[in-house]
Amino acid sequence: MPRYDASEISEIVEMLSFQNLDVRSVTLGVSLFPALKYSDIAEGVYRVLLERSSKLREAVDRVSRRLGVRIVTKRVAVTPICDLIDSRASDKEEARDLGLRIAEQLERAAKELGIDYVGGYAAFVDSGFSLGDFGVIHSIPEALSSTERVSSLVNAASTTHGINLDALSLMGDVIKRTAELSEGMGCTRLGIFANAISGIPFIPGAFHDNREEDPVINVAVSGPGVVENVVKLAERGDIREVHDSIKRAAFKITRLGELVGREVAREMGVRFGSVDLSLAPTPAVGDSVAGVLKAMGVSEVGAPGSVLALAVLTDAIKKGGAMATSSVGGLSGAFIPVSEDSGMAEAVRRGSLNLQALMAMAAVCNTGLDMIPIPGDVESHVISAIIGDVMALGVVLDKTLGVRLIPVPRAREGEEIHFGGLLGSSPVLGVQRIGAERLLARGGLVPPMVNRLLRG
């Protein structure tokens, strides 16, 4: 365990009390493969999840009280559901029905356990579709509109295999249908990814890889308010001094996250996995990544210089966190969700931040296009093309990127949308009503880019 001196403890107390520092989530990774021994696999999922996760809520609450640290959410990440469906379904209809029954049991278990979210309702189609992938994807609209805690990810691209154009076309339709059935809210728990990795404690990217120890605790920290404060204190410093200030703050935030994670793991008698270093904003004033960028010197987020500032911020976060722990995991950088960050939403209102600026910023952040409300009448092929652009960035840059777009039924550009809680609010962003329908209609798999050769 790391040792803490009195000055570091007093700094952390100030961060917790006055700068919105918290631990965003404690996420328990759980394998659902033991459910295969049940004749009814959906019922098996419920029983395994109930048994493996029963200690999480009390353990997190005890650690939160003992350390005086606010832990915002408790989450569980499970084995990709496509793998379970593959083991039982014999045709597409059975695969879809089984997916819906499993989603129902995941929700049932989460409610009984007092868990905020369950991640892992997942399909991996970067190299093609299995029957399980089909079952998950085609059940997503009904699954997410009939649950409140289940979240879904579809990995449609990877550096290793390329980009699945058929999956992109399909996901445009799935997102539209999910939005129609849930007034947009189901899409807040649906992400389309390139290079999805396990160990992410954030929703909707969380899933449990069965190569990991089972069960395992992964932690997500926060702290944009802390970083904004140290940047303001370095107002007269040059960019290296600002970078160093951010790095030192990230070091302290990460140390707290690791302490919380190890304590929860000890309480539960399971292994501690990793800390995701990512700065995760909230709708609260003073807890904004956009606020950090403005403190660094960007006049308005989305204006020229935004990508530069975000690159410096992300690099400093990674370096400071890596010095603090050997257990780095997840995405580990800076998040730029629009509705969840009050500063990002304000930049949309002011007209400086749009979809094109966010796409450019995605190249140096860790989320891609995240929590973006768009007009509900945007055609599905346009949505698919937007996803395709982010998938291309992820593959070419060999990094994890995602897309979480929310077509809001009957909403128009500029209309204010309130999602509630940590999901926040934002004006609806405008979208160019032109896409790449002919390109997507070609279908098939985009071959791996030349950087695949660098992997050997």
DSSP per-residue letters across 186-220: GGGGEEEEES--TT--STTT----TTS-SSEEEEE
Q: At residue 6, does pLDDT exceed 80? A: no
My answer on whether 273 and 398 are in the same domain is yes
Q: At residue 20, does pLDDT exceed 80? A: no
For residues 321 and 332, the answer to whether their CB atoms sit within 8 Å is yes
CATH of the domain at 81: 3.20.70.20
Mean pLDDT of 67-71: 91
My answer on whether 390 and 327 are in the same domain is yes
Q: At residue 8, does pLDDT exceed 60? A: no
The answer to the question of residue 212 being in a domain is no
Q: How confident is the model at residue 435 (pLDDT cuts 50, 70, 90)?
A: confident
My answer on whether 358 and 424 are in the same domain is yes
Domain residues for the domain of 174 are 23-194
For residues 195 and 162, the answer to whether their CB atoms sit within 8 Å is no
Q: At residue 7, does pLDDT exceed 60? A: no
My answer on whether 141 and 280 are in the same domain is no
The answer to the question of residue 38 being in a domain is yes
My answer on whether 227 and 295 are in the same domain is yes
The answer to the question of residue 200 being in a domain is no
Residue 145's pLDDT is what?
98
Give dist(CA 52, CA 30) in Å, integer. Answer: 7
My answer on whether 287 and 370 are in the same domain is yes
My answer on whether 83 and 183 are in the same domain is yes
CA-to-CA separations, 34 to 30, 44, 108, in angstroms, rounded: 10, 8, 18
For residues 153 and 385, the answer to whether their CB atoms sit within 8 Å is no
Q: How confident is the model at residue 9 (pLDDT cuts 50, 70, 90)?
A: low
In 3D, which of 201, 191, 189 has the Cα closest to residue 75? 201
> Tokens 């209809």 label which residue?
93
**pLDDT tens string 267-307:** 999 999 999 989 889 898 788 999 999 999 999 999 999 99
Q: At residue 348, does pLDDT exceed 70? A: yes
Q: How confident is the model at residue 212 (pLDDT cuts 50, 70, 90)?
A: confident
Mean pLDDT of 359-386: 96
**pLDDT tens string 232-249:** 999 889 999 999 999 999
Residue 223's pLDDT is what?
87
Residue 10's pLDDT is what?
56
Residue 16's pLDDT is what?
62
Quote the mean pLDDT of the chain. 94
Q: How confident is the model at residue 186 (pLDDT cuts 50, 70, 90)?
A: very high
Number of domains the chain is built from: 2
Residue 1's pLDDT is what?
52
My answer on whether 250 and 162 are in the same domain is no
My answer on whether 143 and 225 are in the same domain is no
Give dist(CA 36, CA 45) in Å, integer. Answer: 8
Q: What is the pTM of this model?
A: 0.94
